[in-house]
Amino acid sequence: MRFRLQTINNICGRLGIINEIERLPTFQMETPNLLFYTNGGCIPHLTHDVILMLTSDVLPLQIPLDNIYHATEAIIKLDVSVNTFIGLPEYLSFCTLQDPTTTVKQGYHKENVATIWSKHGKQFITKARHMELMESLKPDMYISLCDGDTNINSSKKRILNSARTTNEAFRYCYDQHVSSPTLCKKALIAPIEGGYDLTTRELCAKYLSNFPVVGYLIDGLYSDGASVHKIPFHSVEKIIDHTLKYIPVERLRIIQGAWEPQSILKMIKLGVDLFDTSFPCLNAENGCALVFNFNVENLFSENVQLVNLYHSKNENNIWKKELNNKNEYKSNSCVSNRDNKLNENNKISDGVQFKNNVNDEQNNTSKKNFVSPYSISLYDTKYFDDFTPIIENCLCLTCRKHTKAYVHHLLITKELLGMVLLMIHNLHHYMEFFRYIREHLRRNIGKCD
């Protein structure tokens, strides 16, 4: 795999191209762009024939090891690649470690292993095991084993441990990578840890910059995948900016998770190239449709506002203030169904009691409360008789063919098609958002240089 930087634009961000994938010679993707979040190897709710109604593009899939782990036994025994196993051989695969939309259980550490939570419960992955798995899965891109269990509240000791484990694992994985005939043709991505500690970030970045990898993943920024969109950008800005200073400019930079679109813009400005679709997926999972307007001039200016098409400008600001003031909002965070199931498993296997309830009613209430400035909740009864599309003029299948009243009805009656329609719209909207970002960057290359 090759990443080529086309422009470096200190004011707006950078444009790049990913191509020369060993397995997919015709694949080409421009950055900034998206990895498509998968769970169990599928884009949630979308079968391949429906994906084709969304886009004919060859999609890059983000395949977290924890949510596909249960299938590795079959993948190894059948001796097929992960792409072949999941029935999507023509798509690009990027194997990561933790599902970016769920909560990483904190405090499960062992020397030199990473703890992941699969369908069958807790799994300890050693670096050797990790490389065996990658050798079997044969993803086009993958990260070395890492311990990303840090967030803004992590102690210095935890941060140092996470950094040490990750860097040591990288060293091992790198040696294995270059000496494996299978893996040396794949792209190894180096995870950079260091939590919210600038010094550790710097040390990790400097260390990893010595190795000729295709790119880097800035990891260890959050634990709760469902509330990443509530992390204010200013709290991560310095960390990202500082980390990026110490890695070679011409290499790919990746950040995972459901960051709010406004933060995504700022990360692009700092020079991040690849993100994922956690945000549109989590919104759909909670019955929300993305309705923010990205079609604005000066997308990368300091005071740009991505306005919710359903709010007037004033309402939008008031809403934001309310959001910042509401502390209970944090504790009332939404957890995806998978997460609940995991917790249920844990309760049984470990006897550990987790805060999140599997209670359906509570889950439903939290769904109704999941409203961001970027979306509308189609659980809202005001859409009961609204026979207009989610966004007028939106070209996605959902907006071309279905109304808010119908999606509302599907959610209220718990029909599966509701999620399908929301996923189609949200992914379409988010892909268009990124398309606009790239166009904007292209248009403004001259101006900003």
Partner 1 sequence: MTQLTKSSLKFTLISECNVSNARTGVMNLTHYNVETPVFMPVGTQGTLKGILPDQLEQIDCQIILANAYHLGVRPGPDLLKKAGGLHKFMNWNRALLTDSGGFQMVSLLKLAKITEKGVKFKSPYGADDCMLTPEESIRIQNAIGADIIMQLDDVIATNITGSRVEESTFRTSRWLDRCLVAHERPHDQAIFPIVQGAIDERLRLISTQLHMEKDVKGYALGGLSGGESKNIFWKMVLLSSKILPKEKPRYVMGVGFALDIVICCALGIDMFDCVFPTRTARFGCALIPSGQINLKLNKYKFDFQPIDNECKCSTCKRYTRAYLHSIIPMQAVACHLLTIHNLYFQISLMRSIRESIKRNMFPQFVKEFISKVYSHRPVSKWVTEALKAVNINLEVV
Cβ-in-10-Å burial (0-12, 13-18, 19+) of 351 comes to exposed
The CB-of-341 to partner 1 minimum distance in angstroms stands at 7
**Sign of the CA dihedral with 56 first, then 60, 64, and 65 last:** positive
- Smallest separation, CB 429 to partner 1 (Å): 18
Could you give the CA distance from residue 57 to residue 51 in angstroms, rounded to a whole number?
Answer: 9
Site for partner 1 (CB under 8 A): which residue of 41, 139, 261, 389?
41
- Percent helix, percent strand, percent coil in the chain, to nearest 5: 45, 15, 40
Least Cβ distance, residue 383 to partner 1 (angstroms):
11
> What stretch of H or E contains 374?
none
Of 134, 96, 131, 128, the residue nearest 112 (C-alpha):
128
Give the one residue of 34, 35, 45, 370 binding partner 1; rule: CB under 8 A: 45
User: Exposed/middle/buried for 386, CB within 10 Å: 0-12, 13-18, 19+?
Assistant: middle
The neighbour count for residue 135, using CB atoms within 10 Å, is 16
Task: Map the footprint of partner 1 across residues 371-430, applying CB under 8 A.
Answer: 384-385, 387, 397, 401-403, 405-406, 409-410, 412-413, 415-417, 419-420
Q: Which residues of 362-373 are buried (b: 16+ CB within 10 A; e: fewer)?
A: ebeebbeebbbb
Confirm or reject binding of residue 358 to partner 1 (CB under 8 A): no
Stretch that binds partner 1, among 46-54, 101-109, 218-226, 243-251 (CB under 8 A): 46-54
Contact flag: residue 438 with partner 1 (CB under 8 A)? no
Q: Closest approach of Cβ 66 to partner 1, in Å?
A: 13
Q: Which stretch binds partner 1 (CB under 8 A): 84-92, 250-258, 308-316, 352-360?
A: 84-92
Site membership for partner 1, residue 48 (CB under 8 A): yes
Backbone φ and ψ for 447, nearest 5 degrees, come out as -60, -40
- Residues 434 and 426: their CA atoms lie apart, in Å, by 12
Report if residue 46 touches partner 1, rule: CB under 8 A. Answer: yes
Subset of 99-128 contacting partner 1 (CB under 8 A): 119
CA 310, CA 375: separation in Å to the nearest integer?
8
Site for partner 1 contains 80 (CB under 8 A): yes
Per CB under 8 A, 56 contacts partner 1: no
What are the two backbone dihedrals, phi and then psi, of residue 440, each rounded to the nearest 5 degrees? -60, -45
CB nearer to partner 1: pick between 272 and 407: 407
To the nearest whole angstrom, how small is the minimum distance from the Cβ of residue 91 to partner 1?
A: 12
Question: Should residue 47 be labelled a site residue for partner 1 when binding is judged by CB under 8 A?
Answer: yes
What one-character-per-residue DSSP string does 53-83 give?
HH--SPPEEEEEHHHHGGGHHHHHHHT--HH
> Total number of residues binding partner 1 (CB under 8 A)?
44
Which of 7, 8, 40, 432 binds partner 1 (CB under 8 A)? It is: 40
Residues that bind partner 1 (CB under 8 A): 39-50, 53, 70-71, 73-74, 77-78, 80, 85-87, 119, 338, 341, 384-385, 387, 397, 401-403, 405-406, 409-410, 412-413, 415-417, 419-420
